[in-house]
Amino acid sequence: MRLTKQTNYAIRILMYCAANDGKLSQIPEIASAYHLSESFLFKILKPIVKHGFVESIRGRNGGIRLARPASEIKLSDIVRVTEDNFSMADCFEAEGSNCPLVDHCGLNSALKEALGAFFIVLDKYTIDDITNNNSRINELLGLHLIEGYEARAN
């Protein structure tokens, strides 16, 4: 049981932007911080730009930044957008299931309840919660090394 890489890195991109505190973040910097390729990063960006979590500013001094406050982006919002589906088992998709129990299954309803409990926890946490309670995050992400960071931070 695992979240997709898309979800995992989408959240990390949002954490990077949150740590960068409203300033524009450059794709090569984010890619370097997380040891990712820029092309993979662009792929991850698509759904989070499309769904209004991040805005992309074009041009020589362009970059990306959060499109709304980090305290208003719940982890559950992102997971819902980036995960392909939440079919815990193939019997969640009634049409594709060969199981004779599909319409009368106690397993199906127990798994739905468990998934609901999983989301209730992710509803509680925002990008701000998981980023800015970490006093070392700027250092860990290398933000303190980026040219102009001090100037921009002051």
Interface residues with its own copies (CB under 8 A) are: 1-5, 7-8, 11-12, 15, 33-35, 75, 83, 85-91, 98-101, 104-107, 109-111, 113-122, 124-125, 129-131, 133-134, 136-137, 140-142
The tokens describing 112, both together, are 């739905």
* Residue 49 or 122 having the CB closest to its own copies: 122
Separation between Cα atoms, residue 60 and residue 68, nearest integer Å: 23
* Residue 101 or 153 having the CB closest to its own copies: 101
Question: 């559950």: which residue's tokens?
Answer: 76
For residues 122 and 74, the answer to whether their CB atoms sit within 8 Å is: yes
- Minimum separation from the CB atom of position 140 to its own copies (A): 5
- Minimum separation from the CB atom of position 121 to its own copies (A): 4
For residues 11 and 122, the answer to whether their CB atoms sit within 8 Å is: no
* Residue 24 or 130 having the CB closest to its own copies: 130
* Residue 93 or 153 having the CB closest to its own copies: 93
3-state secondary structure of 37: coil
Separation between Cα atoms, residue 60 and residue 131, nearest integer Å: 28
